[in-house]
Each structure stands twice: as C-alpha cells, then as structure tokens.
C-alpha cells in the first residue's frame, strides 16, 4: 500500500511540474513571438503549428519528469543547494540542447540564447509551485527511510 501512495504522490508532483513548465513555456513562447520573431528566418523542418505542439509537449513532459525527480531529490531535507541544483540540472540540459541546435544556424544565436535562459526560468517556476504544494501538504515529499 505504501508503494502505491508514493506513486500517487509522484504523479501529483509530476502533474504540477508538467503543468507549470507547460504554462511557463506558453508565456515565454508568446513573448518570443511578440518580441524576438521579427527578422528571424524560420529554418525548421515542421510547420509552425506542429513545432508549437511538439515544443509544448516536450516542455510538459520535461516538467512532469522534473516534478517527479524533484520530489525524490529534496526528500525531507531543507537544503537550498539541492533545490537549486535540480532546477539548474534540468534547465541546463534543456537549454544547452537548444543552443546546440541553434549553432547550426548562426543567425539565430540570440533567440536561442534567450530560450536557453528561459529553460532555467521555467524549471524555477516549477520549483516554486512544487515547494508551495509541498508546504500546503498537497504533495508529500518523499520520506527518507
């Protein structure tokens, strides 16, 4: 029974992480479309609407995995370095992948650098919401045995 309870708590943490990163991605994408997209040529393989759905789904899945992993990383500990480390680990992996793709087209370096920075911001938003959910006992932290 305890194993099932832990799984449910992980799914709740993942759902909060996934939704928060997906919403943060949507807000930053809208901002990018309004501010950065002028003068940037599109060289993507997929049409615009497919790229948006794929990128949004990717952000949501990454947020879900972040939420589940974050719950296990922080456990009952009160260690800000663990929390920040989780945010930077996930944010840098996602952000550096965007930079690597952007290096193939030197005309897009600034927008890609902005998106890489936004990746860290998105996971920071998820961290804040997960910490709030744990503080309100909506999600139980993983307890060290």
Domain count, the chain: 1
Q: Looking at per-residue confidence, does 10 or 107 come out higher?
A: 10
- DSSP letter at 107 equals G
Task: Give dist(CA 101, CA 138) in Å, integer.
Answer: 38
Q: Is residue 68 part of a domain?
A: yes
Q: Is residue 87 in a domain?
A: yes
pLDDT in tens, 63-97: 999 999 999 998 877 788 888 999 999 999 988 88
- Sequence-distant contacts of 113-118: CB under 8 A, at least 24 apart: 114/32, 114/36, 115/28, 115/32, 118/24, 118/28, 118/32
- Per-residue pLDDT tens for 94-142? 888 877 777 777 676 777 777 788 899 999 999 999 999 999 999 998 8
- Asked, for residue 29, whether it belongs to a domain, the answer is yes
Instruction: Compare 4 and 143 and report the one with higher pLDDT.
Output: 4
Q: Is residue 5 part of a domain?
A: no
Assess if residue 43 is contained within a domain. Answer: no
Closest CA to 13 of 87, 69, 61, 86: 69
pLDDT at position 49 = 63
Structural domain span for residue 101: 10-35+53-135
71 domain-assigned? yes
pLDDT at 20 (0 to 100)? 96
Instruction: Answer yes or no: is 111 within a domain.
Output: yes
Residue 46 within a domain: no
């Amino acid at each position: 029974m305890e194993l099932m309870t832990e799984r449910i708590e992980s799914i709740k943490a993942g759902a909060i992480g996934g939704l928060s990163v997906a919403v943060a991605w949507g807000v930053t994408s809208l901002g990018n479309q309004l501010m950065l997209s002028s003068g940037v040529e599109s060289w993507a393989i997929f049409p615009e609407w497919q790229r948006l759905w794929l990128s949004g789904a990717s952000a949501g899945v990454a947020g879900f995995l972040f939420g589940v992993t974050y719950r296990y990383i922080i456990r009952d500990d009160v260690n800000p370095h663990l929390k920040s480390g989780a945010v930077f680990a996930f944010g840098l992996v996602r952000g550096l992948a965007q930079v690597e793709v952007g290096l193939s087209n030197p005309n897009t370096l600034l927008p890609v650098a902005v998106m890489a920075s936004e990746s860290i911001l998105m996971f920071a938003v998820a961290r804040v919401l997960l910490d709030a959910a744990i503080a309100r006992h909506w999600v139980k932290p993983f307890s060290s045995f």
